[in-house]
């Protein structure tokens, strides 16, 4: 059974969490043998990464690292803040050992108030995940404020279609990653 960590990478806002719920549902609907784990950054007390050893961080930060380490794949949800990802998400990435997500599948869902800011996924989030050598799926879903109703539920059918497709491809990437040894040849 593959363990997938669903990451809501923000401490403000509800839309990314709702998009994540929707992908989670679509991944489960594929019938794939996947164990779901969820991490909502708003439930955690974050500390700035400052180079101290892991045991010197609070329990939440240590738990965050353990959850990333024990997962076999990730769906990462992020809002766009100031033309970038939230500081709290970058801070979490900074806390991880560079090998933690290596050769593991990752799908991205992002939300912003500006149509053009899907480019933040292309130019900022994907390069970080490439650095970690993740198997980033070729499709991601960027949602905009207009895709939601007042309860922050996705009302745009095209978005639902893209999230279903994302779920289907993510499951295939997860299967592909299962047979890929996570250690490099020279380790």
Ligand X SMILES: Cc1cc2nc3c(=O)[nH]c(=O)nc-3n(C[C@H](O)[C@H](O)[C@H](O)COP(=O)(O)O)c2cc1C
Closest to ligand X by CB, 28 or 114? 114
Closest to ligand X by CB, 56 or 115? 115
Answer yes or no whether residue 118 interacts with ligand X by CB under 6 A: no
Binding mask 1-20 for ligand X (x = CB under 6 A): -----------xxxxx----
In the complex, the smallest distance separating the C-beta of residue 52 from ligand X, rounded to whole angstroms, is 27
In the complex, the smallest distance separating the C-beta of residue 55 from ligand X, rounded to whole angstroms, is 32
- Three-state SS annotation for the chain: CEEEEEEECCCCCCHHHHHHHHHHHHHHHCCCCEEEEEEEHHHCCCCCCCCCCHHHCCHHHHHHHHHHHHCCEEEEEEECECCECCHHHHHHHHHCCCCCCCCCEEEEEEEECCHHHHHHHHHHHHHHHHHCCCEECCCCEEEEHHHECCCCCECCHHHHHHHHHHHHHHHHHHHHHHCCCCCCCCC
Find the part of the chain contacting ligand X (CB under 6 A) among 33-41, 60-68, 111-119, 173-181: 111-119
Binding region for ligand X (CB under 6 A) = 12-16, 79-83, 111-114, 117
């Amino acid at each position: 059974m593959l363990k997938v960590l669903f990451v809501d990478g923000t401490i403000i806002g509800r839309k990314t969490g709702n998009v994540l719920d929707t992908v989670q549902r679509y991944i489960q609907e594929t019938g794939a043998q996947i164990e779901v784990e969820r991490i909502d950054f708003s439930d955690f007390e974050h500390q700035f990464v400052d180079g101290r050893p892991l045991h010197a961080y609070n329990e939440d930060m240590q738990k965050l690292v353990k959850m990333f380490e024990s997962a076999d794949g990730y769906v990462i949800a992020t809002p766009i803040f100031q033309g970038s990802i939230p500081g709290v998400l970058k801070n979490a990435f900074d806390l991880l050992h560079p090998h933690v997500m290596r050769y593991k599948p990752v799908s991205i869902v992002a939300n912003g108030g500006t149509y053009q800011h899907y480019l933040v996924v292309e130019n900022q989030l994907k390069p970080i995940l490439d650095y970690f050598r993740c198997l980033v799926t070729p499709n991601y879903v960027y949602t905009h404020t207009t895709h939601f109703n007042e309860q922050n539920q996705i009302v745009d059918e095209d978005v639902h279609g893209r999230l279903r497709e994302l779920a289907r491809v993510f499951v295939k990437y997860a299967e592909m990653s299962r047979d890929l040894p996570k250690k490099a040849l020279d380790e």
